[in-house]
A = this chain, B = another copy of it.
Amino acid sequence: MGETLSIIPLGGVEEIGLNSTVFEYAGDIIMVDAGLMFPEEDMLGVDFVIPDFSYLLENREKVRGIVITHGHEDHTGGLPFLLKELDVPVYGTPLTIGLIREKLAEHHLEHIRLIAVRPRDVIKLGAFTVEFVRVTHSIVDGVGLGITTPLGRVVHTGDFKLDPTPVDGQLMDFHKFSEYGETGTLLMLSDSTNAEKGGFTFSEKEVRRAFEDIFSKAQGRIIIATFASNIHRIQQAIDVAVMFGRKVILCGKSIVSNTQIALDLGYLKIPANTWLRLEDLNKLKDEEVVIITTGSQGEPMSVLSRIATGEHKSIQIRDGDTVILSAKIIPGNERSIGKIINHLFRRGANVIYEKVSEIHVSGHGSKEELKLMLNMVRPRYFMPVHGEYRHLRYHAMLAEKTVVPWENIFILENGEVLEISDTGARKNGAVSSGRVFIDGKGMGDVEDMVLRDRRRLAHDGIVLVLIAVEKVSGAIVSGPDIMSRGFIFEDTSPEVMNDVKALVTDTLRQMDKEMITDSSLLQAKVRSTLKKYLRNTMERRPMIMPIIVEV
């Protein structure tokens, strides 16, 4: 029996985000993408999440390189943390590499080899030959991959939509994907993000119509918030600004740096005297201004958020301003975005957002596009990726409707191994995997236990019971003193605090010397008594922390 090919998603098949897939054949490993995810609500105080990359670190001598499909953070954001511990080359198209270079510099990882390739370039990484294939998506310079292995070809679509009229005129490379179908494909991994959505996703150019409509009516300044990486969206905003005789001011670190990178690499075209600095704002008349910025998700520290709450140094909203939120509302962010919109309206702006106008289109293909890709590549095996289970499931149903029999479709969980050999494909065990929570500067990861504590603290607060005990005699020399945080406010609910104090005093009185001098027994007794009392009388479950001082 010959060697086997293993495909192992370390992230991206149980969530939107964390996209990272390992390919292993004999002594060689490559990984496609190394993404992060922004935290869910119950991950309190976590800044972001990355996959557990320990499988790569345990097999470090086999890793030939990391191939990145495009420059979005859910495909690149894990790189700094991985590359700190694993010095391997990273491959991607020029804009992707440009964005990664910027990010690695922030983490002092300038020594990593970054190799820029062009669509249709072919590179050899151990047993794998990787061909880059242009796709259209909400960031320019995205690619899918044709990966030739000794057992056959694997196609990874990356994130894609079939935009028939892309802003830069660079169509998806249908011909290459067709060739993959014609010459035979063993396995396809494909983007499931929009597998629930019927029909076709609109072309990015549709947004231009909405922009033109809004610009033609706007009397005052126009402020557009979008993702810093959406170069096409920025290009369209600039084009329409020029059309209506307006200047463009970019505001925010990431949008300025991304725009500069895209401009330097030729992915963005800005006519002379169009891009002005923020300092020039007051030299312009209102009807000459377009400000492009970030903060479309209601992020509290973003430029848009500071503008909305009146905390921005240079930009104050006034009557006649038009604010356009030109981005998808990421699920979970509805309320914070809603608040920003309310603030902007209150300050006098006219606010235009997804719900009331067509100022955003998705970057991911809907059902008809996914079926077209399946029919074009017609793989023997199919593995939906990039989504939660429901998205993968819907995508699997599309695959079955088109070209792949159900038994040849594999929905994996993170860490599970899809093994392909001469005799077929099957799931075969799992490698260590999981999520790593990054907090603050990332100096310490957040442990699960810490998160559990935070959830508990967040829900009902903490009650401290302080008792000082004379070590030998077991006499109570001080306390019980009751303190709380996030529970009932001590000053306004003294009666509750008094009840609790009386209860603990009573409990102590009933304990004998042996128990009192055993501080862990004493702690346990105080905790259980108090827990029961607060649950029964108030239906609350604060964290209870008895502190015993032995003197």
Contact = CB atoms under 8 A, between A and B. Distances in A.
Contacts of A496: 444
Interface in A507-551: 537-540, 543, 545, 547, 549-551
Interface string A319-356: 00000000000011011001001100110000100011
A492 interface: yes
Interface stretch (A29-37, A154-162, A427-435, A457-465): A457-465
A152 interface: no
Contacts of A545: 464, 483, 485
Interface string A299-335: 0000000000000000000000000000000011011
Contacts of A41: 41, 335
Contacts of A388: 338, 342
A486 B457 contact: yes
A460 to B, nearest CB: 5
A443 B489 contact: no
A41 B334 CA distance: 11
Interface stretch (A238-246, A255-263, A272-280, A445-453): A445-453
Contacts of A540: 439-440
A463 to B, nearest CB: 12
Nearest to A340: B390
Contact of A461 (B331, B394, B454, B478): B454
Contacts of A441: 538-539
A206 B457 CA distance: 45
Nearest to A339: B388
A477 B196 CA distance: 65
A45 B458 CA distance: 7
Contacts of A477: 551
A172 B468 CA distance: 70
A148 B550 CA distance: 73
A338 B331 contact: yes
A466 B539 CA distance: 30
Nearest to A443: B538
Given A44-B458, A457-B458, A450 B196 contact: no
A465 to B, nearest CB: 11
Given A338-B388, A444-B496, A551-B551, 20 more contacts: A41-B335, A44-B458, A45-B460, A331-B335, A332-B334, A332-B335, A334-B334, A338-B390, A342-B389, A351-B390, A439-B540, A440-B540, A441-B538, A443-B538, A453-B485, A454-B459, A468-B468, A468-B551, A478-B551, A483-B545
14 contacts: A41-B41, A44-B459, A331-B334, A346-B389, A440-B538, A441-B538, A443-B537, A451-B486, A453-B461, A455-B458, A462-B462, A464-B464, A478-B551, A549-B551
